[in-house]
Structure 1
Amino acid sequence: MLFSCSQPGKPIKTDTYFDLAGYFSREAERLSRLNPDILKTVSRNGEQEQKKLRVTNWKNELELFELSDINKPAWRDSYSVKQSGSSVSYLSNDPKLRTREIKIDFDDAKKVKHILIVNKSDNALYTSDETLNYFPDSAYSIDKRQHVVLIGNNDYLVQGKLKF
């Protein structure tokens, strides 16, 4: 009779691309601890409102960024990776994927300086284009344009400027 000392292992998650979900999860925790003031501007179809506030749920606030993570097993070969200087870009090879582009700029210390995300989704009834920008310790923006058949167009812009 043979016995083995090894136990069946759990699959280890290895990220093929930059871990966007992990990064924004850590940012949400960090910003919750730091609790900065935010000058938040929200506009819908040109009507604008601005408030100074404190975000009570950073996980919610950064959710669209985190949901743009492209590290799914089915998408392992779905993005082309381009490295240029201190930037890395991930470009979708499949026009059906929601996240079309992610570009990350790093500073000299290899810390994230800027993240750009371009999302697009469409079907027979709906088209949506999103451009997300994140500058750690500085600002973030969500620019969303959508067209819904029979309802029309809506443009949304959310900008947050962090004040420490």
Structure 2
Amino acid sequence: MARHLSTFFLVLLLATTSCERPAPPTSAEAAASYNLTTYLQQQIERLQAEQPMVLKSVTTEGKETETVETSAVDWEDELAVFEQADLNRPALEEYYTKQEQVLNNGDIVVEYNRVEDAEPLVHYLRLELTADRKLKQLNALIQDQNVLFYSRRNVQLNADPTSGNISGYRVEGVQKLVLSDSLHYRVDANL
């Protein structure tokens, strides 16, 4: 009987500890993550308030480059592609390997690469941050594919290293619908 009782308590102990919630990340782990969505929302608010002049060029395959200078930009829509690159969500951790390194000048480079056989939307993300964790540059490869549609975009966002504010961006990609030709395009914008 004593043997069965001790086995029961051992099983109960194992069941209780296996149901424990994982410990929240330490402040060092939390600081190591870069919340791109928060950064972009702050930038959208700032840009909508300031309405800076933007020099924007759009090139599509087979057509001349169109360039326009304007301050009338829908920043929420304009920066939406960069919000797709935010990997700072626990549900996405299993799809990526993460490497972080400090460069000689003190800047921090954080790279996310998708693991083999995973098919997430973001295939690659590289963030270059200043020593005080302000964004300098973002590079990402975003690919979406289903039965009807294929899209592949290389995106780059540049920020002023002093203020962390967006200074320009580029989206270069290709998209194809099932019954149409591929469309190659490039968008460059400088603030």
Superposed pair shares fold, TM > 0.5: yes
Give the % identical residues: 25
User: Is structure 2 residue 107 aligned with structure 1 residue 84?
Assistant: no
Q: Following TM superposition, where does structure 1 have runs of at least 4 consecutive aligned residues deviating by more than 4 angstroms?
A: 13-17
Cα distance in 1 for partners of 2:57, 2:146 equals 30
Listed as ranges, the matches of 1:1-164 within 5 Å are 17-47=33-63, 48-85=65-102, 86-93=108-115, 94-136=117-159, 137-162=166-191
Note the alpha carbon deviations across 1:68-97, whole angstroms, 9 max, x for none.
222344323221111122210111225310
Q: TM-score, normalised by structure 1?
A: 0.80
Aligned letter for 1:155? H
Indicate the structure with greater helix content.
Answer: 2
Cα distance in 1 for partners of 2:156, 2:58 equals 15
* Relative contact order higher in (CA < 8 Å, ≥ 6 apart): 1
| Superposition deviation, residue 46 in structure 1 | 4.0
| Superposition deviation, residue 17 in structure 1 | 4.3
**Contiguous gaps of at least 5 residues in structure 2:** 1-23, 103-107, 160-165
Cα distance in 1 for partners of 2:90, 2:131 equals 31
Partner of 1:5: none
Cα distance in 2 for partners of 1:99, 1:55 equals 29
- Structure 2 counterpart SS, 1:40: strand
Aligned partners of 2:84 and 2:122 also within 8 Å: no
Aligned letter for 1:120? Q
Indicate the structure with greater strand content.
Answer: 1
Q: TM-score, normalised by structure 2?
A: 0.70
> CA RMSD of the aligned region, Å?
2.2
Rg larger in 1 or in 2?
A: 2
Count of residue pairs brought into register by the alignment: 150
Cα distance in 2 for partners of 1:28, 1:73 equals 24
**Contiguous gaps of at least 5 residues in structure 1:** 1-12
Aligned partners of 1:119 and 1:131 also within 8 Å: yes
